Amino acid sequence: MKGLLGFVCFVLISQGVGGLLYTWTDGWITLWALTHRIGFLDGYHVYVDVLLIVLGVAVGTASDRVASSA
């Protein structure tokens, strides 16, 4: 379970950081910028990217708690 939560944490944080880099570089860095390809998020990309980072940190914290309680 810890491995799965760690992977989800990595994906969420990397998507958030990649989306912010995409925004800050005006589309020059496109490696992990999947949020900019979703049409209904137009105008909210920065908020969604920050939310992904926060969720990734929360899942990472939950992953550590699951590992310590087992």
Which tens digit of pLDDT belongs to each residue from 34-47? 888 888 988 899 99
Q: Provide the pLDDT for residue 51.
A: 97
Q: Provide the pLDDT for residue 55.
A: 97
Of all residues in the chain, the percent with pLDDT exceeding 70 is: 93
Q: Provide the pLDDT for residue 38.
A: 86
What is the pLDDT confidence band of residue 48, given thresholds at 50, 70 and 90? very high
Taking the complete model, does pTM exceed 0.95, yes or no?
A: no
Helices 45-69 and 2-24: angle between axes, nearest 10 degrees:
160
